[in-house]
């Protein structure tokens, strides 16, 4: 089934070199013949400021103060604010559409879950997961699952969504970077053996059985892959990650819950080439399509 996926050329600012800012175009080129690619409306400064401090939003837009503008680690360039406003708009649009249609959708966005209210961090500029949760709640969602399977813990999401009774977080990482103390109803696992990864995921998903979610926001990082030097875990092969994607989307499908996904982490090196990285992220898109309503 063809699904709608949000992406626009504005996601990739001129002069960007970080995989966080550039890989969406590679994934879009790979999947464009099997999904409906839609250019989202960018979020306005006021919309982003629903989650982030206005002083930080202004710094990303103007590069002043410089330290704050550069705090995400992806570098600053004149096109950075339009890029992250567009990619954040894609996450919000995907969430609202999935909620309204009951079908899986997504955005080819990365660099979300470490961003905090007043600063960027860990290659994350604006927290599209928190922005999407806020938009989904305003659209009527009363129970949202944030499923974070990036290699790293989502400490920024914790800062922004802690205390929100409509949100539950299931976070399974392979690195303790950005670790946080969980809220009631949240779970955080840092797995150090590949053999434990899928069993932990299945156990945590099964543990959610009594809950009825209106929407899943899925942070589908590929940096747990054993060939990724940032967060990779020995034994986390392409086959394991493919099975992970099947597990996630099948679980949601069987419960009638739509998923809005984003790309999250995954970084090139000599072993994990540009094409291989794009193909890993394409597995998320394909699994979302196979298991859409």
Architecture of domain 4-290: 3-Layer(aba) Sandwich (3.40)
Q: CB count, 10 Å around CB of 98?
A: 30
Contact status, residue 144 vs residue 157, Cβ threshold 8 Å: no
- How confident is the model over 92-141, as pLDDT tens digits? 999 999 999 999 999 999 999 999 999 999 999 999 999 999 999 999 99
Nearest to 115 by CA among 173, 56, 63, 185: 56
Q: What are phi and psi of 168, to 5 degrees?
A: -120, 145
pLDDT of the residue at 167:
97
Percent over 90 (pLDDT), the chain:
97
Q: For the chain, what is the largest distance between any 2 Cα atoms, rounded to a whole number of angstroms?
A: 48
Reported as a pLDDT band with limits 50, 70 and 90, residue 211 is confident
Confidence label for 241 from pLDDT (cuts 50, 70 and 90): very high
What is the pLDDT at residue 250? 97
| Cα 276 to Cα 260: distance, rounded to the nearest angstrom | 23
pTM (2 decimals)? 0.98
Q: Give per-residue pLDDT as tens, 4-54.
A: 999 999 999 999 999 999 999 999 999 999 999 999 999 999 999 999 999
DSSP-derived letter for residue 10 is G
Across the chain, what does the average pLDDT equal?
A: 96
Q: What is the pLDDT of residue 263?
A: 97
Instruction: Identify the pLDDT of residue 209.
Output: 74
Element containing residue 172 per DSSP (H, E): strand 167-173
């Amino acid at each position: 089934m063809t699904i709608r996926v949000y992406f626009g050329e504005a996601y990739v600012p001129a002069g960007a070199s970080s995989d966080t800012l550039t890989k969406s175009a590679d994934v879009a080129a790979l999947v464009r013949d099997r999904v409906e690619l839609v250019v989202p409306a960018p979020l306005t400064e006021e919309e982003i400021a629903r989650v982030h401090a206005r002083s930080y939003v202004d710094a990303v837009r103007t590069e002043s103060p410089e330290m704050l503008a550069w705090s995400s680690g992806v570098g600053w360039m004149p096109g950075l604010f339009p890029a992250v406003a567009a990619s954040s708009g894609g996450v919000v649009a995907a969430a609202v559409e999935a909620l309204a249609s009951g079908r899986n959708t997504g955005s080819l966005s990365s660099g979300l879950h470490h961003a905090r209210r007043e600063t960027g961090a860990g290659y994350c500029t604006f927290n599209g997961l928190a922005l999407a949760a806020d938009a989904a709640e305003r659209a009527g969602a009363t129970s949202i699952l944030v499923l974070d399977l990036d290699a790293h813990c989502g400490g920024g999401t914790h800062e922004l969504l802690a205390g929100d009774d409509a949100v539950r977080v299931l976070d399974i990482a392979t690195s303790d970077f950005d670790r946080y103390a969980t809220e009631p109803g949240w779970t955080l696992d840092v797995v150090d053996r590949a053999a434990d990864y899928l069993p932990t995921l299945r156990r945590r998903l099964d543990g959610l059985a009594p809950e009825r979610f209106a929407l899943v926001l899925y942070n589908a990082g590929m940096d747990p892959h054993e060939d990724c030097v940032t967060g990779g875990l020995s034994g986390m092969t392409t086959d394991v990650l493919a099975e992970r994607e099947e597990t996630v989307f099948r679980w949601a499908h069987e419960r009638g819950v739509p998923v809005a996904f984003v790309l999250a982490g995954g970084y090139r090196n000599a072993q994990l080439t540009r094409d291989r990285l794009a193909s890993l992220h394409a597995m998320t898109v394909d699994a979302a399509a196979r298991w859409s309503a």
